[in-house]
Structure 1
Amino acid sequence: MREGEKRELKEFVDKVKVIAPDAEIILFGSKARGDETFESDTDILILLKNLDEEIIKKIKDIRFDIEMKYGLIISLLIHSKKEWESFPYNISEIQHFIKSEGVKLC
């Protein structure tokens, strides 16, 4: 990941933490593995203590602002921690990849 993207991603994380201080934010996919291409998006999992539609909307607004400001494309998955931990492990391939390759940002 280029240095500019790291700063842009940090700005996203910092802004999310203001509105959701208990959020767990995990980078996954090609940028977490270090095999991204120029066309790769930034895959982010956000785990919240409780799913709150207002918080989710604010997170999506932050994503939009970062995308417009920098052109950093962020693909979001947002779940409650309880929901994420209770997924049947054998049917969630993406969960397996995130657990094995994800990079916790906060």
Structure 2
Amino acid sequence: MGLTSLKELKHLTEQERAALEEFVARVRESHEGEITCITLFGSKARGDFDEESDLDLLMVVERPNGQLWDDVVAIEMDLMLKYDVVISSLIMSYGNYEWHRQHRAPLYRNVEKEGVELWTSTPRPS
């Protein structure tokens, strides 16, 4: 992945940083055992955003389920109201993500090239 720290993204506003930090904390609190990683990607990760850009997140999980989806949407809505930012999460199963990786699908290539890992269940090898 590209950058490995939220602190390296100097172009994010204080509200965006706070929203991302709180998003990760709240999702981990309720679903940590289910989540493999949470990665920021897209224009906010690359730095070529405009005023309409949102915070694109990829969440890789063991098995997506209805409760996880509902909780993530509720957290996104709460943070949108609290910080005036829009978070758009893509929740993908680990198996689906591996398929994208094996086939070098465009989404995988973009996440690998520009993604900023916000949290992972296991450290990546250096």
TM-score (norm 2): 0.76
Gaps of 5+ in 2: 1-11, 120-126
8 Å CA contact 1:89, 1:96 repeated in 2: no
Establish whether residue 38 from structure 1 lines up as the match of residue 51 from structure 2: yes
In 2, distance between residues paired with 1:20 and 1:89? 28
8 Å CA contact 1:12, 1:66 repeated in 2: yes
SS in 1 for 2:64: coil
TM-score (norm 1): 0.89
| Pairwise CA RMSD | 1.4
Tell me what 1:89 maps to.
Answer: 103
Gaps of 5+ in 1: none
Tell me what 1:78 maps to.
Answer: 91
Structure 2 residue corresponding to 1:3, chosen from 6, 14, 31: 14
In 2, distance between residues paired with 1:63 and 1:4? 14
Structure 1 residue corresponding to 2:64, chosen from 42, 46, 51: 51
Q: Deviations over 1:27-75 (max 9, x none)?
A: 0011111222222111000111111111111111111111122221111
Establish whether residue 12 from structure 1 lines up as the match of residue 26 from structure 2: no
Deviates more, 1:30-39 or 1:8-17: 30-39
8 Å CA contact 1:12, 1:63 repeated in 2: yes
